[in-house]
Chains A and B, each alone.
Chain A
Amino acid sequence: MAKSEDIIIDEVTSSDYKYGFTTDIESEDIGKGLSEDVVRIISAKKNEPEWLLEFRLKAYRKWLTMEQPDWAHLKISPIDFQEIIFYSAPKKKKELESLDEVDPELLDTFNKLGISLEEQKVLSGVAVDAVIDSVSVKTTFTDVLEKKGIIFMSFSEAVQKYPDLIKKYMGSVVPPSDNYFAALNSAVFSDGSFCYIPKGVRSPVELSTYFRINAANTGQFERTLIVADEGAYVSYLEGCTAPQRDENQLHAAIVEIVTHDNAEVKYSTVQNWYPGDKNGVGGIFNFVTKRGLCKGHHSKISWTQVETGSAVTWKYPSCILKGDHSVGEFYSVAVTNNYQQADTGSKMIHIGKNTKSTIISKGISAGKSHNSYRGLVKVSANADNSRNFSQCDSLLLGSECGAHTFPYIDTANETTVVEHEATTSKISDEQLFYCQQRGLSPEKSIGLIVNGYAKEVLNQLPMEFAAEAQKLLAISLENSVG
């Protein structure tokens, strides 16, 4: 009940901000551009087995034959792949002397998010005397996981330690040929996370990339693979609410999830990449392929995302409901402001019998931004008694932004029930007046109304994440009143 608000009331802001920082590794670039040689160099630098090099090369050759998709409701200037550096080991950031050297706008945002001074320093790369005690946290954390037999490490490390698992599952949900950006990622992926939950194990903690050593700089082509064996359960958190800047403009990640019989994976994301300035200059292009395979019967995958950052977001976390009685869920809040563009949604592919999916999408557009929902519900002939419920709501702030909904439904089975609801609303002057009459500033009023609107989705997030996400939503929409 109303858990996210209770947290605010409990003043959780004073608690630790979950973010880490670990980089000691020397910088190692290989120069700009992409070629078969570059792919070979990447693989060699990572000391990869032959089969993985083959995987990369095949993906690269496939990519060469593909074209950048243009079906999304996005305006993107062409990407020059020969201008991109495809391998750059995590760099040690230039240490700054004090917070005075940090972009004041960034500090302002940190303050609003309630990040402590010490952590602000860490986040912005200022030298700190007393480093946050994250090492000890990590150690206890690793102990807990090891006892349960949970594998959680960087992708590169897993390639060395658990090649069989990687070989078995990598690309089994998102094949390299899936789409242009998936092919690119498969050819040049830098690093990422691997997580395996053994049979019958429920992860006692939420797994967050924060806890993985050296997770801070996995680079622009990240790859995540999560496998939940029979009866296993894990809740996985990606991203953080602190604004993230990066010199890499293009980000193309892949996330694959596999659940076996009776297993469940809950995947939550808060994405707050740099969106560009108020005039739409700069900002990250974020092209992500996220897909889960409910392989076993009675298995479940649920995606929850809060998307506030990036100049361009192209992202459709999806579920393939293969096992009978499997369940797929997608809960999303996507905010666009200024000149941001987002084209996001979900695909639910029903293959097994009695499969069930839910899509709840809340788009919030402000400024001159464009926010699109794109969803596909596909039911194959054998998927008897499958059900889908989709709800796509759009909230507009101001009159210069756009909200678009593209729901596709494709059913080949007569026993299927598919329900789709869509609404478009504006924040009414009456609501704003009411809030302001009670003493709230226009910004606070909008923040409150928007969080209320997104509540159904925010409630899906793990507690502390939800409180942070609430603040983030309010901040993302600042200066959008008028």
Chain B
Amino acid sequence: MLEIKNLHVSVEGKEILSGLYLTVNAGEVHAIMGPNGTGKSTLAAVIAGNEAYDVTEGEIIYKGKNLLELSIEDRAREGVFLGFQYPVEIPGVSMTNFMRTAIDEIREYRGQEPLSAGAFLKYMKEKKELVEMHAKLNNRSVNQGFSGGEKKKNEIFQMAMLEPTLSFLDETDSGLDIDALRIVAKGVTALKSPDNATVVITHYQRLLDYIVPDFVHVMYDGKIVKTGDRSLALELEENGYDWIKKELEAKK
């Protein structure tokens, strides 16, 4: 579904990703871990098409297409979803209206009829229940005045609404209490299907108790330097990243 080869990305002339490879197949769950500032969010932003980043080398193939040639919105309409590490606030725009507009646009792109008001509201109610969202949050402006945890839950709610094919969830678990973590994980698991894939970026293996990954990658210095299974996450939790750094130096 997604194939990233030798990806180099820079911001204002500074290289952040330097030769990253990653393959994600349908039906898989991947976890990306790694120290602060190694480029995890940058990777997610580049996948989504954030124009602040320059791709200087490499390729990203998504569903057989060159992803880098698509606009931000067309990537989304093709099923790419980014759960933001820091969701932005949009004053005065209710969640209901926001989601309604998004779904209308996506359906139009896909040549589908627009949903009627009734069908839309019913659909939204179902998805809200999935992530145990407060009914009230939908009448509030997008992320405005939401608590940190509510913002993260809201990202999963949007993911549920848009039913993406490929989701990058950037530290969606940060700032969640135990119950919220469980709800978010339950939501992600419920949305899992043989046709879609999820990549979670996290610092805590705790999340992986709930969302069981098929692969765990360690990112360091703009590259994926190690790939393993669940047990790698446990090992990292126990021993930190130092041993990986040492392994890398030994290779040199």
- Set of chain A residues within 8 Å of B146, measured between Cβ atoms: none
- For B97, give its contact among A11, A438, A448 (CB under 8 Å): A448
- How many cross-chain pairs have Cβ atoms below 8 Å apart between A and B? 93
Q: Is the CB of A431 within 8 A of B88?
A: yes
Q: Quick check: is A37 within 8 A (CB to CB) of the other chain?
A: no
- Set of chain A residues within 8 Å of B84, measured between Cβ atoms: 434, 437
- Set of chain B residues within 8 Å of A448, measured between Cβ atoms: 90, 93, 97-98, 101
CB proximity to A under 8 Å, residues B91-145: 91-94, 96-98, 100-103, 105-106, 109, 116-117, 120-121, 139, 141
Q: Quick check: is B22 within 8 A (CB to CB) of the other chain?
A: no
- For A452, give its contact among B51, B75, B87, B141 (CB under 8 Å): B141
Prevailing SS type, chain B contact patch: helix
Q: Quick check: is B72 within 8 A (CB to CB) of the other chain?
A: yes
Q: Quick check: is A106 within 8 A (CB to CB) of the other chain?
A: no
Q: Quick check: is B217 within 8 A (CB to CB) of the other chain?
A: no
CB proximity to B under 8 Å, residues A19-72: none
Residue of B72, B139, B141 most packed against chain A (CB within 10 A) = B72
- For B101, give its contact among A1, A10, A11, A440 (CB under 8 Å): A440
Q: Is the CB of A5 within 8 A of B72?
A: no
- For B109, give its contact among A433, A437, A439, A454 (CB under 8 Å): A439
Docked CA distance A448–B100 (Å):
11
- Set of chain A residues within 8 Å of B52, measured between Cβ atoms: 429
* A-side interface residues, number (CB < 8 Å): 30
Q: Quick check: is A8 within 8 A (CB to CB) of the other chain?
A: yes
Q: Is the CB of A10 within 8 A of B117?
A: yes
- Set of chain B residues within 8 Å of A434, measured between Cβ atoms: 84, 87-88, 90
- Set of chain A residues within 8 Å of B141, measured between Cβ atoms: 452
Docked CA distance A435–B162 (Å):
13
**28 examples of A-B residue contacts, CB within 8 angstroms:** A1-B139, A5-B96, A8-B97, A9-B120, A11-B116, A11-B117, A428-B88, A429-B52, A431-B88, A433-B51, A435-B90, A436-B73, A436-B76, A437-B72, A437-B84, A438-B76, A438-B98, A439-B102, A440-B102, A441-B105, A444-B105, A448-B90, A448-B93, A449-B90, A449-B93, A451-B93, A452-B90, A454-B92
What is B's interface to A at a CB cutoff of 8 Å? 48-52, 71-73, 75-77, 81-82, 84, 87-88, 90-94, 96-98, 100-103, 105-106, 109, 116-117, 120-121, 139, 141, 158, 162
